[in-house]
C-alpha cells in the first residue's frame, strides 16, 4: 500500500468542500480495500474527529490489525447485524451523529451495506438506503461517509447503483465525481418502483376495523407452520398488526393482507389505498412521548427486511422473516 499519506490527503475534505460527503469506494481485493479505508480512518483520527466503522467481522479484524494501537478511538460495528435490515442503518447513523456532534467537528463513517450473498430484495433495499442517506443527511453539517463496494463479487448493476447514489466514486485512491449521481433535490417521491409479484400460492385476506384479531391469528398460524420460533412469530404478528392498524387509521379504514412463502422466507404484505409522502417513514427514531408514527419503526426493528412502496395506487408494506 504505497503512498497512503498522499491518498489520505486526497480523501480528506477541505474547508472548501461541501459539509456532507457520501462517497463510494470501489475495490477488487484486500489491498485496494485497505488503501481506501485506512487513509479515511487516519484522516478522522488525525483531526481528532469521531469515526464509526461498520463492516463484517472479518474486515473489522483486518482493519484492526493494520491500525494497531491507533484503533482505540474507532467505534466498530458488525454490519451483518446492524444492517441486516438496511432500514435500521439511517437511525443508527443519526444516533451516532447526535451523540458526537460538536462545533468544529466532522463526523466520519464507513459502512458496507451491500455484500455478496445478499438476496435480490435486500440489495434493492440497500440501494434505496444509499439514496435516502443523501436525503437524511443533506443538511446535517460536516459529515463524511465512505461506502465500500467489492467489484470482484458484486454484479455490474450493483456497481452502477453505487454510481447513482454517491456523488463521488473512489477508485485507485482517487475520488472522482459520479456522472450519474441523483441529487437529493431530484428525489421524485418515496418508493415508487413496484414490488415483484409473488411466486406460488398466496393467501389473501381483506380486513377492516373489526378484523385485526383475525389477521393476528392468521399470521401467527402461518408463522408457526413456517418454522419460526415463538419469539420471532410474535414479532411478525406484532409487525403485521402495526402496519394493518396504520391502514385502518390512515388509509380509509381497510386494507388487504397477502401471505406466502418464498424458499426460506415467509412474507406478509399489507396493501391499502393510502399515500405516504415522507421518504424516511419508519427510519426516524420516535420521540418517547410521541403519539402515533411508531408502527413502521417497530416493524423495521423486529423484522429481517421491510419493503415500503407508495404511489398513486396506494401503499404496500412487504415484511420478510427468514425461517432458517
Does 117 fall in a domain? yes
Q: What global pTM score does this model have?
A: 0.90
- DSSP letters, 219-235, are HHHHHHHTT--HHHHHH
Question: Is the backbone of residue 297 left (phi > 0), alpha (psi -120 to 50) or beta?
Answer: alpha
pLDDT for position 228: 97
Q: Answer yes or no: do 136 and 238 share one domain.
A: no
Give me the domain span that covers residue 146. Answer: 4-185
pLDDT for position 21: 94
pLDDT for position 90: 97
Integer angstrom CA distances of residue 201 from 121, 198, 227, 284: 19, 8, 18, 35
- Residue 251, CA atoms < 13 Å, CB-side half-sphere: 25
- Residue 189, classed as helix, strand or coil, is coil
pLDDT for position 277: 85
pLDDT averaged per 10 residues, the chain (length 324): 35 55 97 97 97 98 97 97 97 96 95 96 96 92 97 97 95 90 70 88 96 98 97 98 95 96 96 91 80 83 96 93 93
Q: How far apart are CA 317 and CA 324, in angstroms?
A: 22
**Strand pairing category for 168-171 and 20-27:** parallel
Q: How far apart are CA 93 and CA 99, in angstroms?
A: 10
Nearest alpha-carbon partner for 114 in 183, 55, 39: 55
* Residue carrying the nine cell digits 466532522: 106
Does 197 fall in a domain? no
Q: Answer yes or no: do 69 and 163 share one domain.
A: yes
pLDDT for position 47: 96
- C-beta of residue 302 within 8 angstroms of C-beta of residue 268: no
Using CB atoms within 10 Å of the CB of residue 226, give its burial: 0 to 12 exposed, 13 to 18 middle, 19+ buried.
Answer: buried
pLDDT for position 324: 84
Which residue, of 127, 154, 185, is where some domain finishes? 185
Give the CATH number for residue 116: 3.40.50.300
Give the CATH number for residue 291: 3.30.565.10
Q: How far apart are CA 56 and CA 82, in angstroms?
A: 10
pLDDT for position 59: 98
Q: Answer yes or no: do 62 and 14 share one domain.
A: yes
The helix or strand, by DSSP H or E, that contains position 141, with its residue range, turns out to be none
Amino acid at each position: 500500500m504505497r503512498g497512503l499519506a498522499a491518498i489520505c490527503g486526497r480523501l480528506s475534505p477541505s474547508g472548501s468542500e461541501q459539509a456532507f460527503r457520501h462517497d463510494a469506494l470501489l475495490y477488487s481485493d484486500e489491498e485496494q480495500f485497505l488503501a481506501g479505508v485506512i487513509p479515511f480512518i487516519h484522516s478522522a483520527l488525525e483531526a481528532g474527529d469521531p469515526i464509526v466503522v461498520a463492516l463484517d467481522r472479518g474486515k473489522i479484524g483486518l482493519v484492526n490489525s493494520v491500525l494497531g494501537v491507533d484503533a482505540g478511538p474507532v467505534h466498530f460495528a458488525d454490519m451483518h447485524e446492524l444492517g441486516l435490515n438496511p432500514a435500521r442503518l439511517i437511525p443508527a447513523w443519526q444516533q451516532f451523529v447526535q451523540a458526537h456532534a460538536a462545533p468544529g467537528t466532522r463526523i466520519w463513517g464507513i459502512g458496507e451495506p451491500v455484500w455478496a450473498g445478499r438476496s435480490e430484495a435486500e440489495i434493492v433495499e440497500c440501494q434505496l438506503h444509499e439514496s435516502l442517506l443523501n436525503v437524511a443527511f443533506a443538511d446535517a453539517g460536516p459529515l463524511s461517509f465512505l461506502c465500500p463496494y467489492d467489484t470482484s463479487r458484486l454484479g455490474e448493476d450493483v456497481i452502477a447503483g453505487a454510481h447513482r447514489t454517491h456523488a463521488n466514486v473512489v477508485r485507485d485512491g482517487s475520488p472522482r465525481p459520479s456522472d450519474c449521481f441523483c441529487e437529493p433535490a431530484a428525489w421524485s417521491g418515496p418508493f415508487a418502483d413496484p414490488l415483484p409479484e409473488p411466486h406460488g400460492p398466496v393467501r389473501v385476506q381483506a380486513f377492516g376495523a373489526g378484523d385485526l384479531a383475525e389477521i393476528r391469528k392468521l399470521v401467527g398460524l402461518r408463522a408457526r407452520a413456517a418454522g419460526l420460533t415463538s419469539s420471532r412469530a410474535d414479532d411478525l404478528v406484532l409487525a403485521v398488526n402495526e402496519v394493518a392498524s396504520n391502514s385502518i387509521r390512515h388509509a380509509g379504514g381497510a386494507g388487504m393482507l397477502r401471505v406466502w412463502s418464498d424458499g426460506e422466507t415467509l412474507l406478509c404484505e399489507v396493501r391499502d389505498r393510502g399515500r405516504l409522502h415522507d421518504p424516511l417513514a419508519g427510519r426516524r427514531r420516535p420521540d418517547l412521548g410521541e403519539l402515533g408514527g411508531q408502527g413502521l419503526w417497530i416493524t423495521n426493528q423486529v423484522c429481517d427486511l421491510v419493503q415500503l412502496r407508495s404511489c398513486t395506487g396506494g401503499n404496500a408494506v412487504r415484511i420478510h422473516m427468514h425461517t432458517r
